[in-house]
Homo-oligomer: A and B are copies of this chain.
Amino acid sequence: MYKVVSFLIIFFCGVTHVSSQEPVEYVNPFIGTSNFGATNPGAIAPRGMVSVSPFNVAGKQNVLEKDSRWLSNPYVNENTFLTGFSHVNLSGVGCPDLGVILLMPTTGAIETNHLKYGSAYSNEKAKPGYYSTFLTKYDVQVETTATTRTGVSRYSFPKGASNILLNLGLGLTNEAGASIKIVSPTEIEGMRTVGSFCYYKPEEAYPVYFVAKFSKPADAYGVWKKPAKYNGEEAQWMPYNGKARLMEGYRKEVIGDSIGSYFTYNFDKPTQIEVKVGVSYVSIENARENLEKETQNASFDDIFSKTASSWNENLSKIKVEGGSNDDKTIFYTALYHTLIHPNILNDYNGEYPKMATRETLKTAGTRFTVFSFWDTYRNLHALMSLVYPKQQSDMVKSMLDIYDESGWLPKWELNATETTTMVGDPAGIILTDTYLKGIQDFDVEKAYQAMAKSADALENNPLRPGIKNYIEKGYLTTEQEGSVSTTQEYNATDFSIALLAKALNKKEDYKRFSKRSISYRALFDKNLKLLRPRNEDGTFYEPFNPLAGANFEKNIGFIEGNAWQYAFMVSHDIKGLMKLMGGSKAFSNQLQKVFDANQFDMANEPDIAYPYLFNYVKGEEWRTQKLVAELVKQYFQNKPAGLPGNDDTGTMSAWLIYSMMGIYPISPGEPVYTITTPVFDKVTIALDPNYYKGKELIIEKTGAKDGVIKDVYLGDALHKSYFIQHSDLVKGSTLKINLN
C-alpha cells in the first residue's frame, strides 16, 4: 500500500526525475501505432473491456482510410483527421472489428456527418490509463481514462455553444445496426452491433451495450438518424428520403445503421464536462451497473489515479535494471501490450454471453476473451504462466467454459464468438503448457477430453478441417487450404496432447499422439530440404516455388508465409528435422540461409522461434545470441513504428520481453526455455506464491558487455545447457548468464 501511495505522489505531483523509478512511467502507448502494429494509444485498464481510443481512420484526409483498404485499427499515428473516440477496441489484431461507440466534442452548430465534424488535432499524450489531445478545429482539450468496463472522458470546452456527439453509425467494424435512447439530460443508453471479424461468421454478429453519463445536464439534446434510401414508387413523396434527420428532445429508442445523439451546452465560461461510458456485452442494465459500481461518482482524476496504480502494480511484476531508457520503454510497453488482451468479458456482476447463442451465463471468476491462439500459443501464454499465473489459470478456465458452452475449445475467440480465423488447433498446446508449468488448479481431465475431441473427431470438426487426410495420410493435401502449415500446426498440438497424456498416465494416447506429432516428416522434400505440399495422390505439388507466399501473398500449402518461413516450425521435433536435413550442420546451414536470403519475417508467427533454433546445434549458439540482439535492435524501437508489424494481441511483445530477459519458451507445450543474452543486467520477476515456491526469479547478466555467452549458472551450479526447465527457474533461483 505504501508503495502505491508513494508512487501516486510521484506520479501526480509532477516531481518525476530523469531517473524515474516506476515501470508505468516507461510505457509509451504510441509504440505500435504505425507500421501496421495495430495497437492504439487509447486509455485502458489492465485487461479492460473498454478502452477510449482516438479514432482517426475515417475520411480521405487520412493516409490509411478504413473503408478504402483492409485496416484493423482505430488509430494510425500518421493520420491527421480525427472523428471521435471509440470505446471498445482491439489492440494488435489483423482484422477490423469493434472501434465503436464514438464520442466527439464539437462547438458551434450541430453537424452529424463525421466527414464534416472531424478535426485536426495536436499535442497528443498517452500513458497507461490516460490519453489526451487538443482538437484544433474546436479549441477543445480531450482527456480520456478508463476503468475495466467504463471509459471516462473529460472535455475542456471554451465559452459558447458546445456539443458532445455520440455516433453509433461510424465504426471500424463492417457490421452495422444500433439503438440509442436518451434517458435524461445526463444519460444515454443503447447498443451497437459488431462482429464478422475477419469477414467471417456474420451470423454471429453481436451487440455491445452501453450507458453514457454526463457530469452536467445538457441544455438541449436530440438524436439523429440517416435512414437507408427508399427506392420504391413512393420515394417521390419522400422529400426526406435518405437524408439525416435531427430529432430534438426525442426520448425513445431510435434504431438504424447510421444514428447518433447530441448533447448541446451553452457555456458562459470555459467549462469541463466529464462523460462516463459503461459497457457490457450482456445488457444495458449491466452496462449501467458496471459504470456505477466501478466509478462510484469518482472524478476523472480519481479514476485515472486508480487505473494508473493498477497498471503499475501489474508492470512491477518484472523489474529490470541496466539497459537504456529506450530499452526499458520498449520492454515495459511490450509488457503493457501483453496485459491488454486477453481481456475481461464478464460484467461486474459476473454475467457474460454464452458462445454463439449469447444466452446470459454467470461466472464467479473471470471470463476472459480475445483468444488469438494461432499467435499467442507460441509465447504469450507461457509468459502469463511465468509472471501472471493466476491470470493464466483464469484464461484456461475460460477456455474450458467455452468448451462447455460450445462443445469445442476456442481457436480465435472474440467476445463469445468463435471467429475460426487462421489454421490449426492450438488450444491444447496452451492447456498442456500451463499444466506442465505447474498451474494445475483447473479440471485437467476435462481439458484433456476437450483436446482429444478435436484431435479425433472425423465429422463436423470445426477446429481441424482436413482431419481425415491428416489421420490417414499424416498430412493434409493441396485439396485443403494451407495444407503444409496446417499439418505442422496439428502436429504441434498432437505433441502437446501426447505430453499431457504422459503426465496423466494415459500411455496409449501418449504413444498414439507422439506418433501423430511427427507426421509432417512425410512432407519433407529431400532435394529442397524444405516442407512441400503433397497432392491428393501423394505426389509433390508442382510447380513449386519455395519463395512464393511471403508478404501475405496467397500460396498453395502455406498460410501467411512461404516454405522457408515454415520449414523449421516443428519446435517439438527439431532433432527429427535435423535428421531429415542431414544432420546438425546441414540444419544450421539451412537455417542460416533463411536469414541470409532475407526470408526471415519478424512480423509474423510461423518463423518467430527461428533465431533461437541455433541453440540446438552445439557451437552455433552465438548465432542465436547475435540474431536475437540484432532483431531486437532492428525491429523494436521507442517510436510509433517500433513494432515489426502487427502486435498480434501481444505475441510480438511477448517475443520481445522474453528476448530482452534472455530466455525463450522454445517449444510451446514443453515447460522449457532456451537461453540467450539478456538486454538487461538484471531482471527480477516476482513469482506468485500461490503457484510457485520461489519468491522471485532473477536473471543476471555478468561479464563482458557485448560478448557472447561464456557460461550459465543456476544459483551456484554451472548449468551446462542452453535449455532450462521451467521448474528449475521458479524455485527462487538466480540464472546468471556470463558473457565473455
Contact = CB atoms under 8 A, between A and B. Distances in A.
Contact of A237 (B177, B179, B199): B199
Contacts of A68: 232-233
A252 B199 contact: no
Given A67-B233, A174-B234, A245-B202, A179 B251 contact: no
B237 A70 contact: yes
Contact of A255 (B193, B204, B228, B356): B193
Main secondary structure of the interface of A (DSSP, over half): loop
A362 B353 CA distance: 35
A356 B250 CA distance: 7
A207 B255 contact: yes
Interface string A689-724: 000000000000000000000000000000000000
A174 B255 contact: no
Given A67-B234, A203-B245, A252 B358 contact: yes
A251 B206 CA distance: 10
Interface string A195-233: 010010011111100000000000000000101101011
A67 B232 contact: yes
A322 interface: no
Contacts of A233: 67-70
A357 interface: yes
A27 to B, nearest CB: 32
Contact of A228 (B176, B230, B360): B176
Q: How many copies does the complex hold?
A: 2
A177 B256 contact: yes
Contact of A234 (B70, B248, B257): B70
B179 A238 contact: no
Contacts of A248: 203, 357
B357 A249 contact: yes
A191 interface: yes
A356 B232 CA distance: 27
A87 interface: no
Contact of A358 (B206, B240, B251, B353): B251
B253 A191 contact: yes
A247 interface: yes
Contact of A246 (B67, B176, B203): B203
Nearest to A257: B228
Interface string A579-607: 00000000000000000000000000000
A255 B178 contact: yes
Given A96-B234, A249-B356, 13 more contacts: A174-B230, A174-B232, A177-B256, A199-B234, A199-B238, A202-B240, A202-B245, A203-B247, A207-B255, A250-B358, A252-B353, A252-B358, A256-B257
